[in-house]
Amino acid sequence: MSHDDFKTEPVPGLPERPPEGERILWQGRPDWWRLSWEALSLPWVIGYFAFLTLWRFAAVYDLMPLPQAIGASVPFVILGGIVIALLTIVGWVQARATLYTVTNRRVAMRIGAALTVTLNLPYTQIANATLSRRRGGTGTIAFDTMGETRLSYLVCWPHVRPWRFNPTQPALRCIPDAERVARLIAEAAEARVSVPRVERRAPHAAAPLAAE
């Protein structure tokens, strides 16, 4: 798979090479059609222009012959088609510019078509993950993060859980085979969190003995 648009990445989807011991378990992109349909609200846009077309037809039906009434409604159909085509292109570009990476230590999200950023979500900073399944096996995995770090909804959009602003929940949006990816994340997170941490501390100075 070619990633010529991001030649500066030492590893596709990651800003730097993974440290020793970190392994990539899965990489993928959103399904561009599902992303357009859900994130860009295509059903609402289609419904809006369908309503305008019917409203225009009903308004002029009694004032002119049927062919002219239909002709007066056609501009709304054309305008709706243009808007839907533009939104679909935006969805395709967003999906093409995105690369999600799941490793045995973190979830990384390279997102953004105009301004590209990479979010690193270590498993130790993920409090909870929620899977929302859709038809065809696609789905969205949203992460509830811990700590004081606050993510911008606008910067992360559309790679967020819809309508969750405070706090913003980053999400692997509209990915194929979402259930399998969710299992990978759950197993990797469980293994990572269960690893004991060893902290190195400077040896304490010996306490002086009281003279007898």
Is the pLDDT assigned to residue 42 strictly greater than 90?
Answer: yes
**pLDDT score, position 163:** 86
Sheet holding 99-103, edge to edge: 24-28, 99-103, 106-111, 117-122
155 pLDDT more than 90: no
Residue 44 has pLDDT above 90, yes or no: yes
Rounded to the nearest 10 degrees, how much is the dihedral formed by the CA atoms of 38, 43, 45, 49? 170
Please give the residue that has the higher pLDDT: either 203 or 60.
Answer: 60
Determine whether 35 is exposed, middle or buried from the number of CB atoms within 10 Å of its CB (0-12, 13-18, 19+): buried
Please tell me what DSSP assigns to residue 142.
E
pLDDT of residue 151: 84
Give the global pTM: 0.80
Residue 196 is predicted with a pLDDT of 53
Percent of the chain with pLDDT over 90: 51
Mean pLDDT rounded to a whole number for the chain = 84
Helix H or strand E segment including 90: helix 66-97
Q: Is 143 helix (H, G, I), strand (E, B) or coil?
A: strand
Contacts of residue 179, Cβ cutoff 8 Å, sequence gap at least 6? 131, 133, 137, 139
Give the phi and the psi of residue 60 in degrees, each rounded to 5: -110, 0
DSSP 185: H
Strand spans (E) along 63-182:
99-103, 106-111, 117-122, 126-133, 139-145, 160-165, 168-175
Tell me: pLDDT of 199 over 70.
no
Residue 41 has pLDDT above 60, yes or no: yes
Helices (H) and strands (E) in the chain, counts: 5, 8
Average pLDDT over residues 49-61: 89
Confidence category of residue 91, pLDDT binned at 50, 70, 90: very high
Segment 99-106 mean pLDDT: 94
Do 148 and 3 contact (CB within 8 A), yes or no?
no
Domain boundaries, the chain: 18-29+101-193, 35-94
Average pLDDT over residues 182-198: 79
Reported CATH class of domain 18-29+101-193? mainly beta
**Is the Cβ–Cβ distance between 139 and 131 less than 8 Å?**
yes
What average pLDDT does this structure show over 9-18?
A: 80
